[in-house]
Amino acid sequence: MEGLEIILTIFILATASSFAFASDPSPLQDFCVADPEGSAPNVCKGAALVTADDFSFSGLHIRKNTSNSVGSAVTPVNVAQIPGLHTLGISMVRVDYAPNGGLNPPHTHPRASEILVVIEGTLRVGFVTSNPDNRLITKVLYPGDVFVFPEGLIHFQYNIGNTHAVAFAGLNSQNPGVITVANAVFGSNPSISAGVLAKAFKLDGKLVGNLQSNF
Amino acid sequence: MEGLEIILTIFILATASSFAFASDPSPLQDFCVADPEGSAPNVCKGAALVTADDFSFSGLHIRKNTSNSVGSAVTPVNVAQIPGLHTLGISMVRVDYAPNGGLNPPHTHPRASEILVVIEGTLRVGFVTSNPDNRLITKVLYPGDVFVFPEGLIHFQYNIGNTHAVAFAGLNSQNPGVITVANAVFGSNPSISAGVLAKAFKLDGKLVGNLQSNF
Amino acid sequence: MEGLEIILTIFILATASSFAFASDPSPLQDFCVADPEGSAPNVCKGAALVTADDFSFSGLHIRKNTSNSVGSAVTPVNVAQIPGLHTLGISMVRVDYAPNGGLNPPHTHPRASEILVVIEGTLRVGFVTSNPDNRLITKVLYPGDVFVFPEGLIHFQYNIGNTHAVAFAGLNSQNPGVITVANAVFGSNPSISAGVLAKAFKLDGKLVGNLQSNF
Amino acid sequence: MEGLEIILTIFILATASSFAFASDPSPLQDFCVADPEGSAPNVCKGAALVTADDFSFSGLHIRKNTSNSVGSAVTPVNVAQIPGLHTLGISMVRVDYAPNGGLNPPHTHPRASEILVVIEGTLRVGFVTSNPDNRLITKVLYPGDVFVFPEGLIHFQYNIGNTHAVAFAGLNSQNPGVITVANAVFGSNPSISAGVLAKAFKLDGKLVGNLQSNF
Amino acid sequence: MEGLEIILTIFILATASSFAFASDPSPLQDFCVADPEGSAPNVCKGAALVTADDFSFSGLHIRKNTSNSVGSAVTPVNVAQIPGLHTLGISMVRVDYAPNGGLNPPHTHPRASEILVVIEGTLRVGFVTSNPDNRLITKVLYPGDVFVFPEGLIHFQYNIGNTHAVAFAGLNSQNPGVITVANAVFGSNPSISAGVLAKAFKLDGKLVGNLQSNF
Amino acid sequence: MEGLEIILTIFILATASSFAFASDPSPLQDFCVADPEGSAPNVCKGAALVTADDFSFSGLHIRKNTSNSVGSAVTPVNVAQIPGLHTLGISMVRVDYAPNGGLNPPHTHPRASEILVVIEGTLRVGFVTSNPDNRLITKVLYPGDVFVFPEGLIHFQYNIGNTHAVAFAGLNSQNPGVITVANAVFGSNPSISAGVLAKAFKLDGKLVGNLQSNF
């Protein structure tokens, strides 16, 4: 085969098909509950001092207040809430959505894939693939429906029903992180220079300034 | 320090405290939906052929029938149900528990840690640490309570309330696996020899035979 | 310590300090050059058929045309260009920036951290941390300066000099992926509904429509 | 293809065939010998203070006393015995088996696969696959025979000869952990409630109580 | 602190002490025995077709012939000998050493750490740390002694006794690879140019030619 | 199939073809800049104290002095120079080569693969595969050419032009390590015994002594 064909073939192999795996690594001991009195953050409590409370959290049944600009509320349950999650590679969130447009706005998790189940309500959900396709994969979900958001991709959930909506999701990191795209870009501290955002978003500079003052 | 002291110190460091981490690896592409017509199992669908259905599943809102010997029903949502989970390192289950003793019996996930949230009912949950302590870490959970089961450890949930109970859980593997201890030990196919089980469980051989015929 | 204090302590440990590691996994053989005639994408060429060309690429010395709307050009060298990179966890890019405002617009790599060195010109670079801080870490770079962009975070480079600029960067994935934020959000195919974007970006719906038609 | 067929196909792909890999991650430095005088467990000795003794252990040639209820003795050589194993992902054990029924009882390693070689004697070994098959894979081994126990699966070795037996095994974790099934289930501290065990093992409650008092 | 001090401090932290971890990843299913009739190398046998023979190997008790130029013989037991090791991250070797100088010459395993136990004889073993120290960590081992060789470092074993010696070792990769330094450098095919080797090894060119003809 | 055929088939699958993957793990937080005043090396600076300088380095544009015995100079940019690289799995080097034979001598990186781009000059580069083939994969590179060196394999670059040469390279570890083969083998501290090196390299003992005194 000639060079170009090889490049093309490889390109097709690398994009249309694919061949990679998220291995699921294991920790190096049963668990490692961070010791709040330890001399360093990764000193773990002696096993004899660990209790069931180190592995639990309460309150995910409570409907959260969604009276905010986007109409949603995220309740995280990760290593910051459950110290026993340290080294275990898993966490959870509850999301509440106001009726008629409650939005968990476009965001990414830099360190986790997500699997979400709808408990109440009707959600339009979607994620956008990476360049160059930027394809939107989207679906309307009803109670009992499950959807997957691959690691690092921009995704959102939008309440298109006229009732409160609730979802639970699992994420494969003890600290998945959240980057709300609009806030990170237009609301960073300090601000990204207006020239950068005007060119990137094809906006005039004055409008960028207005947007930045809103965040 | 002398040799023994060093050994002792290291032993304490390696057990009482601890110092390891589950890294959360990333896949090598946005996603890899197994192509059911591919020539091999890890040939992925062309990206243009992927649809939202490849990332979704329906039916987790349905109460499952728990009329079986243990009084529980597990509904898995992993790569066998959602092909788009392939390479993403995450999955989910719903568990239903019959009132008054529905039991998800002692089991392990050989390839995942688990985070569980109670939706309905009252569950006693627990896990047992590895040798030599075999400590039981246990707690009663109510709706909205969350609990963590570290990778590979034996754990169970037991409905101690007089109503049906429901829980959802996230697991950090696309295929976490389940080993129900009693079934694997007394119900394997073919059977483990009765001599092995009698000695391990301190039972007489005839009782072992009876047990094996029950599984 | 009481519950709240523990939560607070853990929260501080989990955010102000930190304790995690990118391990650097090794492949399972010396290399695995995808066989373009193989029956499946991860069938590798026989070792005897592999040549030096499978590990090389030419042309990164060529100044690229930056006459486009953002004034920059990215030349990737990953597994799509060098088949021998398959399984090796590394790749490279060259970026050219037009004088006076050439911009590599805000984007993320969902599967890689990046280390960049400036060869020519003067670049303002920056990345934004995840929620809730969304802190901008930014610096002006001159030739010979190196900067790091952590995995999954939004980052950009902006040519603030009046000459052409050039940078090279290494990324720790054979296929790091690129998500240009503005394009993924306003230019996805199909479009994200205007209601979602209007609420997320605090824009009126008509402006969102205009933006979407620009991408 | 219709939905059911796809599910079936995927299920077959996910079970009958398979497609995953244990990557072998590398440490971040040549070695990291825990410093017994360090302020935290993962402070490593200065390289100049490390000696050959940090990487060695003596005594694996010694026949161990197997006069106990199961007739076997395990001598571990992991990070608790060799501090230089820290971060290296490997360890070893010697197992001695009494003649005529010495048993290394059914157990799992929650964090390692194992490869075992018989030095003396005749062992029946086996492991049980996960649900739903719970298939027993078993074989009789003679000196020089090697067998593999996959990560997290229940396995055992049983001396069916009339001489003392000895085996060595490598495990791919610095701290693989051991869960002896019978001990963890019937001998945990505190006890798992008899109701749970009676239902799981299809035993009457009184027998469970007897069993628990034996462990 | 000033810049230089910070750099110095970090340098000391990064070298004298250290802080990284080999995580032990898990496979994505119980096991994956490569199907010799599959259409691609990573198509696994159907679980029902797997037998105990897929996980076993015989013959490690046999003393090997060490009549060769270095006086040693390595018998590998990795995925090439045991197909069931695929995805499990572990393998084993037996090494035989001729009396009075049998040598397993300086080599590296590019993808594994190693733990070795001496069965018979007296071995001087050692490994050399990376630049700039190139420190030799060495010890004389007797039967029952265990030693560790960290991943990727040059190491050797040398029979300093007057009897045949035997060792077994575990390695944390299904395919650890071996690079015998002298053979790779002086015996590559085709040869490395004599100018390169003369300068690297501070030898005259003619001697390099002689050396190359010996390998 | 018979036993031998199966072994052969597996051997071919495991060598001629191949099937493994370097996963690219993610860190557990945005970044972790080691705190030079922390009580332990992996205590990270509070996020509010982190500055852009923690992620940058200057001086890679400076031509380095290559007046040494091999005629090359390596300028590393890893976690020892940029504390913000900690946990990010990436680093960089600049290499300068004297005209007419400047040599980066045969060496390995025990913890990283490398991707190199030539900026100036003409380099012959190569790597040697592992046993038993020890095949040399080699090529002459000109400015703009890129080449890949797989993890752990012996490789070199040799300036065959009559001008100074410069290359940059990315490596997928925060601390890849370097083992210069000749120095590690003939220049270790203390020395490897002459008997070992004489037998391994097929040299007479006196010459080995001379070589050792040169390093």
The pLDDT of residue F15: 26
The better pLDDT of the pair D146, F11 is held by: D146
Both tokens assigned to F49: 């104290």
Which of A145, E135, A131, F115 has its CA nearest to residue B82?
A145
Whether residue F198 is found in the same domain as residue F128: no
Residue type present at position D123? L
pLDDT higher at E30 or A98: A98
Check if C29 contacts E (Cβ < 8 Å).
yes
Angle (CA) E129 E130 E132, round 5°: 110
Q: Which of D7, D111, D211 sits opposite B152 (nearest CB)?
A: D111
pLDDT tens digits for A26-72?
A: 577 899 887 766 555 556 788 889 999 999 999 999 999 999 999 99
Decide if pLDDT at C14 tops 70.
no
Per-residue model confidence (pLDDT) at position A157 = 98
- The verdict on C157 and C183 lying in the same domain is no
So what's the pLDDT on residue E148? 98
What's residue B26's pLDDT? 56
pLDDT digits (tens, 9 = 90+) for E69-86: 999 999 999 999 999 998
Query: Is residue A164 annotated as involved in ligand binding?
Result: no
Are C202 and C141 in the same domain? no
Q: Is the alpha carbon torsion for B56, B58, B60, B65 positive or negative?
A: negative
Question: Using the beta-carbon criterion (under 8 Å), do F22 and C111 form an inter-chain contact?
Answer: no
Is the CB of residue D107 less than 8 Å from the CB of residue D153? no
Has residue E193 been placed in a domain? no
Query: Where is pLDDT greater, at E11 or F127?
Result: F127
CATH number at residue B100: 2.60.120.10
Same domain, C122 and C190: no
The average pLDDT across D186-215 equals 94
Whether residue E164 lies inside any domain: the answer is yes
C42 band by pLDDT with thresholds 50, 70 and 90: low
- F92, F195: one domain: no
Chains meeting A at 3+ CB pairs closer than 8 A?
A: B, C, D, E, F
- For E139-190, what is each residue's pLDDT tens digit? 999 999 999 999 999 999 999 999 999 999 999 999 999 999 999 999 999 9
Asked if the C-beta of A42 comes within 8 angstroms of chain B's C-beta atoms, the answer is yes
What's the mean pLDDT in D47-60?
Answer: 95
Would B66 be classed as within a structural domain?
Answer: yes
CB of D58 less than 8 A from some CB of B: no
Q: Residue D44: which pLDDT band, with cuts at 50, 70 and 90?
A: confident
- Within-domain flag for C195: yes
Asked if B1 is an interface residue toward chain D (Cβ–Cβ < 8 A), one would say yes
Position C87 scores a pLDDT of 87
Q: Are residues F40 and F141 in the same domain?
A: yes
Whether pLDDT at C17 is above 70: no
pLDDT at position C29 is 87
d(C-alpha C152, C-alpha B203), whole Å: 55
Cβ-Cβ pairs closer than 8 A, E with F, add up to 241
In DSSP terms, B169 is beta-bridged to B93, B116
> Could you tell me which residues of B are annotated as the binding site for oxalate?
104, 109, 114
Asked if D21 has any chain A CB less than 8 Å from its own CB, the reply is yes
Tell me phi and psi for residue A157, to 5 degrees: -135, 140
Residue E202 included in any domain: no
Binding site members of E for Mn(2+): 107, 109, 114, 155
Q: Of the candidates F15, F13, D16, which has an alpha carbon nearest to the alpha carbon of residue E37?
A: F13
> And the tokens for B113?
């840690």
Residue E186 falls inside a structural domain: no
Residues C143, C186 within the same domain: no
Question: Which pLDDT value is given to residue E38?
Answer: 58
Least confident of A145-154, B20-29, B121-130, D141-150: B20-29
Give a yes or no: residue F31 inside a domain. Answer: yes
Q: Would you list the DSSP string of C6-23?
A: HHHHHHHHHHTS------
Task: Show the tokens assigned to D33.
Answer: 């010998």
- The Cα–Cα gap between B100 and B158 comes to 9
Domain match, C67 and C146 both = yes
Name which residue leads in pLDDT, D33 or D11.
Answer: D33
Record: contact F130-E156, CB cut-off 8 A: no
Rounded distance between C-alpha atoms, residue D90 and residue D69, angstroms: 29
CB < 8 Å to C151, chain A: 110-111
- Check residue F34 and give its pLDDT: 74
Beta-carbon contacts of F170 under 8 Å, excluding residues fewer than 6 positions away, are C90, C91, C92, C115, C169, C170, C171, C172, F90, F91, F92, F114, F115
**F15 domain-assigned:** no
The DSSP annotation for B46-74 comes to PGGG--GGGGEE--TTSPPP--STTSEEE
How far is the CA of A169 from the CAs of A3, A26, A75, A158, D185, in angstroms?
Answer: 46, 21, 10, 15, 31
Do F106 and F182 fall into the same domain?
no
Please determine, for residue C11, whether its predicted confidence score (pLDDT) is greater than 70: no
Separation CA A177–CA F31 (nearest Å) = 11
Produce one character per residue of C195-212: b if its CB has 16 or more CB atoms within 10 Å, e if not: ebbbbbbbbeeebbeebb
Residue recorded with tokens 């999301």: A95
User: Can you list the residues of chain F whose pLDDT is less than 50?
Assistant: 1-25
pLDDT tier for residue E137 given thresholds of 50, 70 and 90: very high
Confidence at residue D37, expressed as pLDDT on a 0 to 100 scale: 64
Choice between A134 and F87, residue whose per-residue pLDDT is larger = A134
Same domain for C54 and C134, yes or no, is yes
> Which range, of C50-59, D19-28, D171-180, averages the lowest pLDDT?
D19-28
Question: Which pLDDT band, with edges at 50, 70 and 90, does A140 fall under?
Answer: very high
Looking at the structure, do residues C131 and C34 belong to the same domain, yes or no? yes
- Shortest Cα distance from A158 to chain C (angstroms)? 7
| Contact check, Cβ <8 Å, F28/A175 | yes
Map residue C163 onto helix, strand or coil: coil
Say if the Cβ atoms of C23 and D24 lie within 8 Å. Answer: no
Binding-site residues from annotation of B for Mn(2+): 107, 109, 114, 155
d(CA F181, CA F204): 19
Domain of C67, in residue numbers: 23-174
**Which of A119-128, C44-53, E32-41 is least confident?**
E32-41
**Residue D119, φ and ψ in degrees, nearest 5:** -95, -45
Averaged pLDDT, C4-31: 42
Q: Which pLDDT belongs to residue E203? A: 93
Q: Rounded to whole angstroms, how far apart are CA atoms C72 and C97?
A: 4
The answer on C115 and C89 residing in a single domain is yes
Model confidence at D78: pLDDT above 70: yes
What lies within 8 Å, CB to CB, of F12 at 6+ separation is none
Looking at chain C, which residue has its C-alpha nearest residue E189?
Answer: C48
Looking from the CA of E178 toward its CB, the CA atoms found within 13 Å total: 21
| Chain E stretch 109-168, residues whose beta carbon is closer than 8 A to a beta carbon of chain F | 109-111, 124, 126, 128, 130-131, 133-136, 138, 150-154, 156, 158
Q: How many domains does chain D have?
A: 1
A21 contact D CB<8A:
yes
Angle at E206 between CA E202 and CA E208, to 5 degrees: 55
Q: How far apart are CA D148 and CA D139, in angstroms?
A: 11
Mean pLDDT, chain A, as a whole number? 86
What tens digit of pLDDT does each residue of C176-208 get? 999 999 999 999 999 999 999 999 999 999 999
Residues of chain B with pLDDT under 70: 1-26, 36-43
Touching chains, B (3+ CB pairs < 8 A):
A, C, D, E, F
CB-based contacts of E12: which residues, under 8 Å, 6+ apart? none
Selection from D45, C44, C208, C146 nearest residue F19 by Cα? C44
Looking at residue A42, its pLDDT comes to 57
